[in-house]
Amino acid sequence: MKQKIRIGMRKIKSLIAVTLSFLIWQGLRLLYPAMEVHPVFAYMYAIIEMRFDPQETKQFAWLRIKATIIGLFSGLLFLTIAIVLGFSGQKTYPEILWEFLLLLASCFVALTVGEIFKCKNFSGIAAIIAAICVVSIHGTNPYLYASMRTLQTLIGVGAATFVNLYIVNPAKKKKKQV
């Protein structure tokens, strides 16, 4: 059985959102050339956030942004605790265990705060961002790394929302036809 491959608007809108994410990131790189070349998280969220219904995109984007910010603050709190406790990346088994417990605590806090702020199913994003922050302790600048991941998420979500609301909006086309 032959399957017909269709190039639909969701695919096109996703590619436009990824391109917009790339362009925004490259603009930032003009100011800060040391930033990585490709904002993988921005690409990922530009694709994930693309929806058929622009209002759904707007609603989900707001929830994801809220969850991302919650995750950032929760993760940075526990990253700071890890640094204060002296975790340095030298992997002794007690240090690995304590770091893992901090990771679990940061995820728990992010999930709980996400629930309090009614992030619905997006509380998991808060936990992912928090976990990224805690494990980033082993990078050259863990605060910068965690902040860059969050910025990429916001760029990807913003690009998808912009494309779906203002560039290709099926609801606007239907209104014009009526």
User: According to the model, what pLDDT value does residue 88 have?
Assistant: 66
Domain borders along the chain are 10-169
CA-derived radius of gyration, the chain: 19
Most distant pair of Cα atoms in the chain: their distance: 68
Q: Residue ranges of the chain with pLDDT lower than 50? A: 178
Do 87 and 137 touch, CB atoms closer than 8 A?
A: yes
User: According to the model, what pLDDT value does residue 132 have?
Assistant: 85
User: According to the model, what pLDDT value does residue 94 have?
Assistant: 84
User: According to the model, what pLDDT value does residue 162 have?
Assistant: 92
SS3 category, 117? coil
CB atoms within 10 A of CB 58: 14
User: According to the model, what pLDDT value does residue 76 have?
Assistant: 92
